[in-house]
Amino acid sequence: MNHRFAKAFHLITVLAFIVIFMYIYSGLPAMVGFELNEDGFAHGVMDKNIFFYIVIGIFLVLNILLVTPAKLIESGASPNIKRLFAKGDPFRDQMLTWIYSFVGVINVSIIVVVMYLFQLNGVMEETGRPSGVGLYILPVLFVVWTVILFILLTRKMKSVQSTK
């Protein structure tokens, strides 16, 4: 049942990405800077449209690749998957929860990076100095989610060994 909350979180992050990215895209200059030189001016730049397609492409590829295993588990695509992730097994629900919440965290990280780039390209009076606080939180989230994955897998391995 928890995986339904994780699915909702994933959906909310997808919708948030769409809304926030459209807002940010409309406010970006024609040439988007993504790197600063020593003086604080944009050094590396790319066209706004190329930036748009790159970010959308990254978002779509990551979401499709990372949600596919969850869809395979939910549908029971093969006999091995059905056996490993049996319906009613708590591990199945925990794994689905982890996958969907991890994809949600990935989406949040894309949003944070795009917002940082928006601040980087905005007029200082409008957006303020770019703050990288969100960029420091992202690695912590990834470490926490990776540790949770290893805990889930360790529990499953112990339960499989104890049934033999």
Both tokens of residue 77? 């695509």
Separation of alpha carbons 84 and 77, rounded Å: 11
Write down the domain spans for the chain. Answer: 2-155
Q: What secondary structure letter does DSSP report for 86?
A: -
Residue 1's pLDDT is what?
63
Q: Is 38 helix (H, G, I), strand (E, B) or coil?
A: coil
Q: What secondary structure letter does DSSP report for 88?
A: T
Query: Poorest-confidence range of 3-12, 57-66, 155-164?
Result: 155-164
State pTM to two decimals: 0.85
Mean of pLDDT over the chain: 86
pLDDT at 87 over 80: yes
User: pLDDT by residue (tens digit) across 2-40?
Assistant: 888 999 999 999 999 999 999 998 888 888 887 777 776
- Range 32-62 burial, b when 16+ CB lie within 10 A, else e: bbeeeeeeeeeeeeeeeeebbeebeeebeee
Would you say 102 and 10 are in contact if contact means Cβ atoms under 8 Å apart? Answer: no
